[in-house]
Amino acid sequence: MKYRKLGNSTLEVSAIGLGCMGMSYAYGETPDKKEMIALIHSAIDRGVTFFDTAEMYGPFTNEELLGEALAPYRDQVVIATKFGIKMQDGKQVQDSSPQQIRKAVEGSLKRLNTECIDLYYQHRVDTTVPIEEVAGLIKDLISEGKIKHWGLSEAGVQTIRRAHAVQPVTALQSEYSLWYRRPEEELIPTLEELGIGFVPFSPLGKGFLTGRFNKDSKFGSSDFRSIVPRFTPTALEANQSLVDLLKKVAGQKNATPAQIALAWLLAQKPWIVPIPGTTKLNRLEENIGAADVQLSAGELIEIDTALDKIKVVGDRYPEELEKRTGL
C-alpha cells in the first residue's frame, strides 16, 4: 500500500481508504456484523489505515461496528467520522449548534471506543449556524484533545474559506469520480490554494463504474440508489459509454474498470484519497490494487479526451438532497 498526506497537514493515510457506510446502511439488506469486522481486519492486513464513518450511518450502528473492529488496532489506524445531522421526527435534519456538536462528539467517542477522533467532519453545512462559530467550537475540541483534525463534507468554496480562516481545515469530503467532475471547476483549485486534502466519496459512482449495472438492474426500496436519478433504467443505459471507456483502458492495463476509475482519481492530485466502500473481500482487494495502477500522462489525456465527448445523463441526487450540498 502507498500512503499520502491530506493537504499540508501531518495526517498520513493509506492512498485508498475504506468507506464503511454500506456495512450498516443505505445499500439494501444489512450485512452480517461478524463478516464486516473480518473484512475491516482484512483491510488492515492489506495496509489500509483510513476508515470513514458517521454518526448517521445506521444511525449509530456503523460507528459501533468500527469501534469494535478497530479497537485492537487503534494506534495503527485513522478514524474519520461526522457530526451535524440528527434524526428528528423520522427525518434527517442539519444541526451544528454548539450543544449538538458537543453531544455528537461525546456519542461518537463512546461508540468508536476511542479517546480521540482523528478526523471529524461537519457532515453537511447548517445555514442557521455561522461556520465561524462551528470552527471556533472545533478549535476548542482540538485543544481539549477530543479530536485531532477537522474537515467539511459537501461544502462550497466560500464556506471552506471562512472555516479555514478560523481553524485550518485538514480535509474536504465530497463526491468526485469519472461521472461527477464538478469539483474540478472551483473546489479542487481552492483546496490546492489552501493546502486542504480531498477525500472523494462514491469514487466508483455508487458501483456503476465497476460495470456491475445495466438498464435491467433493479434496486430495492432500502437501497439508496432506488431514488437516485442517475440509476433509472434510461440513465443506466445512456451512461454505459463511460463503462465502455473504462473497460477499454482496463484491457490495455491488465486492470479492472474499478481500478482504472480509482487510479484516475489518484492521478489527479497527490493529496486526493478516495474512500470506496464495499462489503466483499474480492472487491476490497480489487480496490486496493488500484494504488499500484499507474496511468501515464498520455493515458490520462486519452481518458480525458474521451470523457469530454460523453454526456452523463441524470442528476447525482434527488432535488431535495442536492439542496443540502455545496453551501
CATH number of the domain to which 207 belongs: 3.20.20.100
pLDDT attached to residue 198? 98
Percent of the chain with pLDDT over 70: 100
Q: Looking at the domain assignment, is residue 327 inside a domain?
A: no
pLDDT at 327 over 80: no
| pLDDT band per the 50, 70, 90 thresholds, residue 221 | confident
Tell me: pLDDT of 29 over 90: no
Domain count across the chain? 1
The pLDDT-based confidence of 246 (bands split at 50, 70, 90) is very high
Q: Domain for residue 308, yes or no? A: yes
In a domain, 186, yes or no: yes
pTM over 0.95, yes/no: yes
Q: What is the pLDDT of residue 317?
A: 86
pLDDT confidence tier of residue 322, bands split at 50, 70 and 90: confident
Q: Is 57 among the catalytic positions?
A: yes
Vertex 90: Cα angle to 86 and 91 (nearest 5)? 55
Identify the CA nearest to 172 among candidates 184, 148, 156, 186: 156
Confidence band of 60 (pLDDT split at 50, 70, 90): very high
**Predicted confidence (pLDDT) per residue in 92-106, tens digit:** 999 999 999 999 999
pLDDT band at 181 (very low <50, low <70, confident <90, very high): very high
32-to-54, 92, 280 alpha-carbon distances in Å:
19, 25, 11
pLDDT score for 147: 98
pLDDT band at 26 (very low <50, low <70, confident <90, very high): confident
User: Which pLDDT score is estimated for 94?
Assistant: 95
Q: What percent of the chain has pLDDT over 90?
A: 93
Set 25, 27, 57, 180: catalytic member = 57
Residue 326 has pLDDT above 80, yes or no: no
318: left (phi over 0), alpha (psi -120 to 50) or beta: beta
The SS3 assignment for 85 reads strand
Q: Which domain holds residue 176?
A: 3-322
